[in-house]
Structure 1
Amino acid sequence: MKQHTSADTFDGLKGTVVTIGTFDGVHLGHRKIIDRLLASAQSNDLESVVLTFFPHPRMVLQKDTGIKLINSIDERIALLEASGLDHLIIHPFTKAFSRLTAEEFVKDILVDQLKARKVIIGYDHRFGRNRNANIEDLKAFGTQYDFEVEEISKQDVDDVAVSSTKIRKALNEGDLTKANEYLGYPFMLNGIVSRGKGLGKKFNYPTANLKIEETYKLIPAKGVYVARASINGKEVYGMMSIGTNPTVGGSDLTIETFFFDFEADLYDQHLQIELLTRIRDEKKFNSVDELIAAMQADERFSRDFIQKLDA
């Protein structure tokens, strides 16, 4: 896959099949579109192109919303690259860009810059200034500028249309099962292992404290989760606590993972940790002994869960 930092730098040598979107989560609905994109590009001897944007449009146009994203930009790139695209364009989303009319976007970017012969788009896609153009407008532009438009219907899971908004809501509410089902893969957190207060070690549960640099990255609901990571080529399981450690008077949000049957110095290492299931809410216990007993119960639950994965 060739990555481009702007549509202006695109240098494809032949016609393209293009899809457009923010692709936050690269979820099942997005994958339905990308699968069709790849198949169409192959059958028509064209190059496949995903045109996506960063920052997220809402981060630019509605700064007070405080939107948190399912994926960091690096996670989004990795997920899209794994799909087998020819080209990924990450176009800077600015206020000036948002003021392009629908026709300016189509002519200047899709036609002149990307040489689009076909555009594949989700059923609810809107574009142009104030998002005032829809798929019917795109089809009209296709007739005018000689490219085909294909509409992809919604992707349903249990009769519910998958969307990034619904996945964010599920994660914020602690419904990891639903979020992972809609994503089609386990939700992940990426960060650098930093030094914490060493409380876990005192309780015989030494943890890796994950520091996430991207302030826009969505952190799921506080609680305890079964987790998995690949460390130095080895698949390692454990349990992750997201919370403020209220039992010991904590106030800052921390992300701490105790890995089972694993010992290594992880400080300053980059880790990608997948969240497999949610065990329970964060709770303030009456004593440290109660906290340790709960952690032991969490470990038993986690090990049982992991054993069933391998069964």
Structure 2
Amino acid sequence: MITHTGIQSFSAKSPVVTLGIFDGVHCGHQLLLSEVIKVAGQLGRESAAITFWPHPRFVLSKADDDFRLLNTMEEKTEGIRAAGIDHLIVVPFTPEFAAITGEQFISEFLVDKLQVSCVVVGDDVRFGAGGTGTAQMLQEFSGESGFCVKHLDTHLHNETRISSTFIRACLRAGDLASANRLLGKQYSLSGTVTTGNRIGTSIGFPTANINVSEHFKQIPSDGVYAVYTEVKGKRFAGMLNIGIRPTLQDHDHKTIEVHMIGAEGDFYNENLTVRFVQRIRDEMKFGSLEELRIQLEEDRKTTMNIIKFDNH
């Protein structure tokens, strides 16, 4: 896949394109991308996905401090690459770009600059200033502009539309199973290992504290999770805690720390990725470090049983 920042370097002739934010590159997105590839093959054209960065909410709603994303730009790129798309066009989303109307986007970008042969979209697509651009608008322009439009029906899960918004809500609510199922993969976080107070080491469960790389990443709800950990080219099963560590009462801010089962050595300042397999339990407060240690032993057994039957 070739990644283009803006469309100036894009030269593929009459591509088949789709457009969207693609946060999470979830199952609904994957169906859309697969359809783009299918149509491109039928027409003998190259496939392209158009996305926007940063997320429009960060540009248009700067006071919305609680808004989070499922993907960094790098993760989104990898997800679209994995789908098999030929080209990814990343359009810088600026206040100036946000002022472009839906009609202008179609005529100036899709028709004049990209000369698209076909546009594949979900029936809920929105683009242009105020989100006025729709699948219906594309259809109205298609005849006179010489491109075809194919739109896919909304993909539902238990009568709920699969969306990035819904998946974020699942993660916040502790419903990791639904989030992973709708993503079509295990949710992940990446960051740098930082120093901690080494209390875990003193009870036989050394942990790596994770400073998440991007502040806008959606953090799952507080609790204990079975995870895979990837660091220094190796992969370990692990048990990860998100929360304030109430037993230790050493701070009141949220931390993310992972015990990597079977790992040895110093991982401080290393880049690390965790992939969430299953939520084990809520964060709990114990009467002593010994009670905590006993529970962690049970968590480790639970984690290993979960990992044993995981096929990822």
TM-score norm. by structure 1 comes to: 0.95
Q: Does the 8 A contact of 1:240 with 1:257 survive in 2?
A: yes
Q: What's the CA shift string for 1:69-125, capped at 9, x where partnerless?
A: 011111111111111211111111111111101111111111122221100001111
Q: What is the match of residue 43 of structure 2?
A: 44
User: Hey, what's the Cα distance between the residues in 2 that align with 1:277 and 1:106?
Assistant: 43
Q: What is the match of residue 276 of structure 2?
A: 275
Q: What is the match of residue 84 of structure 1?
A: 84
SS at match of 1:82: helix
Segments of structure 1 that go 5 or more residues without pairing to the other structure are none
Q: Does the 8 A contact of 1:10 with 1:113 survive in 2?
A: no
SS at match of 2:75: helix
Over the aligned positions, Cα root-mean-square deviation in angstroms equals 1.5
User: What amino acid does structure 2 have at the position aligned with 1:307?
Assistant: K
Q: How does 1:4-23 map to 2 (within 5 A)?
A: 4-7=4-7, 9-23=8-22
* Percent identity of paired positions between Structure 1 and Structure 2: 37
Segments of structure 2 that go 5 or more residues without pairing to the other structure are none
Deviation at 1:234, TM superposition (A): 3.8
User: Hey, what's the Cα distance between the residues in 1 that align with 2:9 and 2:118?
Assistant: 17
Q: Does the 8 A contact of 2:232 with 2:270 survive in 1?
A: no
Deviation at 1:135, TM superposition (A): 1.1
Q: How does 1:99-138 map to 2 (within 5 A)?
A: 99-138=99-138
Q: How does 1:251-266 map to 2 (within 5 A)?
A: 251-266=252-267
User: Hey, what's the Cα distance between the residues in 2 that align with 1:192 and 1:81?
Assistant: 25
User: What amino acid does structure 1 have at the position aligned with 2:179?
Assistant: A
Q: What is the match of residue 226 of structure 2?
A: 226
User: Hey, what's the Cα distance between the residues in 1 that align with 2:235 and 2:214?
Assistant: 25
TM-score norm. by structure 2 comes to: 0.95
SS at match of 1:64: coil
Which stretch shifts more, 283-292 or 65-74?
A: 283-292
Q: How does 1:155-166 map to 2 (within 5 A)?
A: 155-166=155-166
Which stretch shifts more, 55-64 or 168-177?
A: 55-64
Deviation at 1:232, TM superposition (A): 4.4
| Number of equivalenced pairs | 309
Q: What is the match of residue 200 of structure 2?
A: 200
Q: Does the 8 A contact of 1:23 with 1:76 survive in 2?
A: yes
Q: What's the CA shift string for 1:43-78, capped at 9, x where partnerless?
A: 211111111111111111122223100111111111
Q: What's the CA shift string for 1:203-244, capped at 9, x where partnerless?
A: 211112211121111111011000003344443211111112
Q: What is the match of residue 237 of structure 1?
A: 237
User: Hey, what's the Cα distance between the residues in 2 that align with 1:196 and 1:239?
Assistant: 16
User: What amino acid does structure 2 have at the position aligned with 1:245?
Assistant: R
Q: What is the match of residue 305 of structure 1?
A: 306
Q: Does the 8 A contact of 2:231 with 2:270 survive in 1?
A: no
Q: What is the match of residue 168 of structure 1?
A: 168
Q: What is the match of residue 150 of structure 2?
A: 150
User: Hey, what's the Cα distance between the residues in 2 that align with 1:32 and 1:307?
Assistant: 30
